C-alpha cells in the first residue's frame, strides 16, 4: 500500500508536464481578457517568490489543522470526563 501511495505522488510529477498556477494568476488572466485596460486598485506590499508563498500557505494550513485538532481533542476529552463522572454517580 505504501508503494501505491508513493507512486500516486511521484508519477504525476514525472509524467504530467504543465505549469501549476494558482487562483490569483487565473483570475488576473480572466480579468485581463475581459478588460485589457483594467488597472488594479492597489499593489501588493511585497512580491514574494513562489516557494515562499507556498511555504506560507502550508504554514497557514498546518496552524489551522492544529487548531481544529486541538479543539476536537479538547471536546472529546471533556465528553469522556463527563461520562466518567456520570458513571461514578
pLDDT at 25 over 80: no
Spell out the residues 6+ positions from residue 54 whose beta carbon is closer than 8 angstroms to its own: none
Say whether 41 sits in a helix, a strand or coil. Answer: coil
pLDDT in tens, 33-71: 999 898 888 888 888 887 888 899 999 999 999 999 999
Q: State the cell numbers at 77.
A: 476529552
Percent of the chain, pLDDT > 70?
A: 94
How far is C-alpha 32 from the geometric centre of its chain's CA atoms? 26
Give the pLDDT of residue 20. Answer: 66
Predicted pLDDT of residue 61: 96
CA distance 14 to 79: 47
**pLDDT average, residue stretch 14-36:** 81
- pLDDT at position 28: 85
Higher pLDDT, 63 or 12: 63
Q: Of 46, 48, 54, 64, nearest to 21 (Cα)?
A: 54
* Integer Cα distance of 76 and 81 in angstroms: 9
Amino acid at each position: 500500500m505504501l508503494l501505491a501511495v508513493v507512486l500516486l505522488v511521484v508519477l504525476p510529477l514525472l509524467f504530467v508536464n504543465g505549469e501549476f498556477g494558482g487562483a490569483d494568476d487565473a483570475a488576473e488572466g480572466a480579468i485581463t481578457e475581459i478588460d485589457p485596460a483594467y488597472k488594479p486598485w492597489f499593489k501588493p506590499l511585497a512580491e514574494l517568490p513562489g516557494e515562499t508563498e507556498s511555504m506560507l500557505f502550508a504554514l497557514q494550513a498546518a496552524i489551522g489543522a492544529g487548531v481544529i485538532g486541538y479543539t476536537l481533542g479538547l471536546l472529546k476529552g471533556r465528553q469522556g470526563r463527563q461520562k466518567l463522572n456520570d458513571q461514578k454517580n
